[in-house]
Amino acid sequence: MLNVSRALLFQAHLPTYFWSFVVKHATHIINRLPTPFLKLKSPYELLHGNPPDFTNLRIFGCLAFASTILSGSTKFDKRAIKSIFLGFKPGTKGYILYDITHKSIFISRNVIFYESHFPYHKPQHTSSITNEQSDCFSSLENLFSLHNNSNFSLQQSAIVNDIVSLESASHESQTTECISRVSTRPKKPLNYLADYHCPTLASSHLTYRTPYPLHSYLSYSNCSPSHTAFCLSISGTYEPTSFKEANQVDCWKRAMKAELEALDRNKTWSLVVLPLGKKVVGCRWVYRTKFRADGSIERYKARLVAKGFTQTEGVDFFETFSPVVKLTTVWFLLSIAISSGWFLHQLDVDNAFLNGDLDEEVYMKPPPGMLLPSPQLVCKLNKSLYGLKQASRQWNAKLTSALIQFGFTQSTANYSLFVQKTPTAFTVLLIYVDDIVIARNNIQTIHHIKSYLNDQFHIKDLGHLKYFLGLEVARSHRA
């Protein structure tokens, strides 16, 4: 395997800090090659019972362009990321790619490969003289060859040196001009920001100042009094960014205490001594102010979030993928509901991720502000917590199991769509993490579904659908 890894690295001309990806890709290839030790069968074929598929195999380290067609992009935005192919990720259909521009690693399925190009391969140049200079030198040599004397030889050497000096000076001046050039255009705020309240435009870290007062950006003349109060409450409320700040304010101290009590009631963790050879995951508090529709403060929310970026794949987590509803499905359901006159209701699951069960052993540092009987104790997580890599997947699995048990069928085209058919009615559920949309022509059945979900998980009934995935839904009897 070492020879294969070295060959892949040399062929792609990649630096040695990509060695882990080279070894994984070499292992991927070797496991799919027949060997005389296994009677000319590959390890993959013996394990899975069928020969491997080589259609997705690509040359390691080759040039690749990953699609960047995202929502909100304009016609002039780039459509692909220039990257390097680094192999495959087990359990997914995407390719591991290295973004050359931003120096980051990501996974994508929509990729175009150029397997004969290697971005890190830089051909060796034997001379720095350009073609034009070479042609000029050849002409001079032909001219000077007609005069075989020392004076012309000296003149030839002097002229050639002058040409090289002039070319170098010209190149240096062009390079200096390109590097030192600074735009002299007057800078002003972007036009689309005129629709928003932008208090950060006057921050000292920006390279320009607003040419006119900030209050001219926003007008509440067309808004209702309740909506105006709501916007002003949001823009005028300060939320702490650290435990030290929050611990000095009574309302946030009460919010943290309430969150810890809820976690304790849910038996989210057990206090244990950290076993030998195990590591702990950090955590932090996140603070949010919840508002009512009239702009008044509903409650102060403190949420404990695990630092999932410190988890180790294969030790603290394995699978992380969790399906979310597609926006095209949302549009389709809304159009069907409008034409059929269905009721559309929305639910929100309180502390949704805390309902997921953990399959791995995960230990977490005690949250700031928690009183411990012994300083050596840590939290062994029994339930998934916000911030964990696998939290969303575990919650989705728990919710899916509950809905199937109630009689819903999960769509194979969109795993976040659930359907329940009866001789007289048709019910549709859309799920986006902890937000649930119910569509049905019978309001009594909707109440029955809400009651069932509330027994399984504690839910918040938001009534008629109003906001979902950035969409605002308003009903009117006018066509």
Identify the three-state secondary structure at position 108.
strand
- For the beta sheet containing 459-464, the strands, ordered from the edge strand earlier in sequence to the opposite edge, are 409-410, 417-421, 426-432, 435-440, 343-349, 459-464
pLDDT at position 359: 83
Instruction: Tell me: pLDDT of 331 over 70.
Output: yes
- Exposure string over 8-43, b if 16+ CB within 10 A, otherwise e: bbeebebeeebeebbbbbbebbeebeeeeeeeeebb
Q: Which is more confidently placed, 277 or 137? A: 277
**Strand 80-88 with 95-99, pairing:** antiparallel
pLDDT at position 146: 46
Tell me the HSE value of 124 on the side-chain side, using a 13 A CA sphere: 2
Quote the CA–CA distance of 321 and 330 in Å, as a whole number: 21
Question: For residue 98, what pLDDT band results from cuts at 50, 70 and 90?
Answer: very high
Instruction: Tell me: pLDDT of 206 over 50.
Output: no
pTM for this prediction: 0.50
pLDDT at position 178: 45
Residue pair 440/342 in contact (Cβ under 8 Å)? The answer is: yes
* Tokens matching residue 273: 């001594």
Among 29-33, 118-122, 189-193, 287-291, whose mean pLDDT is lowest?
Answer: 189-193
Residue pair 207/183 in contact (Cβ under 8 Å)? The answer is: no
Q: 430 - beta bridge partners?
A: 417, 437
pLDDT at position 230: 64
pLDDT at position 283: 92
pLDDT at position 86: 92
Segment 86-102 mean pLDDT: 88
% of the chain beyond a pLDDT of 90: 11
pLDDT at position 83: 92
Residue pair 34/42 in contact (Cβ under 8 Å)? The answer is: yes
**Residue 465: which H helix or E strand, with range?**
none
Quote the CA–CA distance of 261 and 286 in Å, as a whole number: 16
DSSP character string of 56-86: T---TT-EEEEE---TT--TTS-SEEEEEEE
Segment 355-360 mean pLDDT: 82
Quote the CA–CA distance of 317 and 360 in Å, as a whole number: 6
Among 96-110, 170-184, 258-272, 395-409, whose mean pLDDT is lowest?
Answer: 170-184
Instruction: Tell me: pLDDT of 190 over 90.
Output: no
Instruction: Tell me: pLDDT of 326 over 50.
Output: yes
* Residue closest to 469 by CA, chosen among 439, 434, 442, 444: 434
**Residue 463: which H helix or E strand, with range?**
strand 459-464
Q: Which is more confidently placed, 26 or 177? A: 26
pLDDT at position 195: 59
Among 209-218, 258-267, 375-384, whose mean pLDDT is lowest?
Answer: 209-218
Segment 55-70 mean pLDDT: 86
Instruction: Tell me: pLDDT of 215 over 80.
Output: no
Residue pair 271/365 in contact (Cβ under 8 Å)? The answer is: no
Residue pair 52/29 in contact (Cβ under 8 Å)? The answer is: no
What is the chain's length?
479
Residue pair 364/378 in contact (Cβ under 8 Å)? The answer is: yes
Segment 105-129 mean pLDDT: 79
Instruction: Tell me: pLDDT of 421 over 80.
Output: yes
pLDDT at position 134: 53
Among 29-33, 68-72, 438-442, whose mean pLDDT is lowest?
Answer: 68-72
Orientation angle between helical segments 443-456 and 391-406, nearest 10 degrees: 130
Among 64-73, 225-234, 367-376, 424-433, whose mean pLDDT is lowest?
Answer: 225-234
% of the chain beyond a pLDDT of 70: 74
pLDDT tens digit string along 365-381? Answer: 999 888 888 888 999 99
* Tokens matching residue 134: 């070479």
Question: For residue 96, what pLDDT band results from cuts at 50, 70 and 90?
Answer: very high
Segment 422-446 mean pLDDT: 84
* Tokens matching residue 473: 């839904």
Phi-psi bin for 222: left (phi > 0), alpha (psi -120 to 50), beta? alpha
CA 257 to chain CA centroid, Å, is 32
pLDDT tens digit string along 133-162? Answer: 555 445 444 544 544 444 444 444 444 455
CA quadruple 240, 242, 457, 436: dihedral positive or negative?
Answer: positive
- Mean residue pLDDT across the chain: 78
Burial class (CB within 10 angstroms; exposed 0-12, middle 13-18, buried 19+) of 463: exposed
CA distances from 323 to 146, 266, 317, 332 (A): 80, 25, 17, 18
Instruction: Tell me: pLDDT of 212 over 60.
Output: no
Quote the CA–CA distance of 310 and 151 in Å, as a whole number: 75
Among 106-110, 127-131, 316-320, 444-448, whose mean pLDDT is lowest?
Answer: 127-131
Segment 206-228 mean pLDDT: 54
Quote the CA–CA distance of 307 and 391 in Å, as a whole number: 12
